[in-house]
Amino acid sequence: MLLGCGDAATEASAQSEGVEREQSEPQAEESTEVAEAEPERDGPDPALMREQPIRCVVPPVPIPRPRACRRNGYPRCKWQMPHATTSRGTYRRWRNTIMEHWWARPALIQVLLASADAFERRYPDQVLAIGDLDAPGPRHATHDNGVDVDLYLLGAMLTENAGRGRYPDNYEGKSGEEVRELRDRVLTLAKILTTCAEGKVRIYYNDEPVVAEYLAWYGEQGFGESPFEAPMVTHNRLHRFHFHMTIAEDLAELPMPEVDHPFAPIRRPPRPGDAPHLSSMSRR
C-alpha cells in the first residue's frame, strides 16, 4: 500500500469494508442532470439505518495522490476525490466541477468519502453531488487551502441550481410533511459530515429551520468548542442550493483500509478564459 501525507496506520480490527470513526451514543458518467437506475444493494433497510448511530467508514477505494505525498504535506501533497464511478453510486461530481478542482487535504477527502457512504446507506435514492474542493480563482473567495468543499443534495435543498440563472424553489407546492422529509435529508447530511469531522466544521446554508435544529443537535453531541464562530451559519443567497463546508486545518486523518492508491500528478486547471464556466459568480 502506498502511504502519503500522514496516512493513519490501519487498525488490526478494521473490517475489510473500511475503517470507522463512530458517533458516540446518544449522539457512470458523473452527470447530475439525470438520475441513473440504482443498483441493487444488500444490507439493512435505509429507514432503520436512519435511527442508528453514525459510523464514519472510509470505503476501500483507490485515492489518487502525487508522489510528493511520500515526503511532503499540503500543498505539495493533496489527494484527489476518486472518480464517482468508483464510489458504488454514493456520490457524483457536480456538473460545473472539473477534476482539476477535486484536490484537497487528505483529511477532507476522507471525511467526504466516509460521509457519502454513510449518507447513501440512509438515503440510497438521494443524489449527492460533490462540487469544488481546491479551486482558487475568479468564482471563489476561498477554496484555496485544502479545507473547503461545495455539496449539493439535488431536489432536497431550499432551491435548485438549474443552470442559466434559474433557481426554482424545491419546497413550493409541497405539503408540510414532504418539506419535513426533505429537510431531514439535509439535516442528516450535515450531521454525518460533522460527526466524521469530529465537530470541526463550518457549514454555510440558508434554511433557518435547518440551521436552528442542527445547532441544537450540535450542542448535545459533546464535540467541544467549535474552531469556527459557529458550526452552521447563514450566508449569501447562493447558499440556498448548496452547502459550503470548511473543516479545520488540523483535523486528524481517519484510519485507512488496505488499498493500493495510484500516483497521479496535480494538474493545473485551465484558465477561466479557456473554460467560461469557471469564471461564474463567486460561490465562496
Q: Which class would CATH give 64-279?
A: alpha beta
Residue ranges of domains in the chain = 64-279
The answer to whether the beta carbons of residues 188 and 119 sit under 8 Å apart is: yes
Distance CA 36, CA 44 (A): 22
Determine the Cα–Cα distance for residues 103 and 120; give it in Å rounded to an integer: 22
Query: Buried b vs exposed e over 56-81: b needs ≥16 C-beta within 10 Å?
Result: bbbbbbebbbbebbeeeebeebbbbb
**How big is the chain, counted in residues?**
284
Q: What is the pLDDT along the chain (284 residues), one digit of tens a residue?
A: 444 444 433 333 333 344 455 554 333 344 454 444 444 556 678 888 888 999 999 999 999 999 999 999 999 999 999 999 998 889 999 999 999 999 999 999 999 999 999 999 999 999 999 999 998 766 777 888 999 999 999 999 999 999 999 999 999 999 999 999 999 999 999 999 999 999 999 999 999 999 999 999 999 999 988 899 999 999 988 899 999 999 999 999 999 999 999 999 999 888 766 665 554 444 44
AA identity, residue 164:
R
pTM comes to 0.83
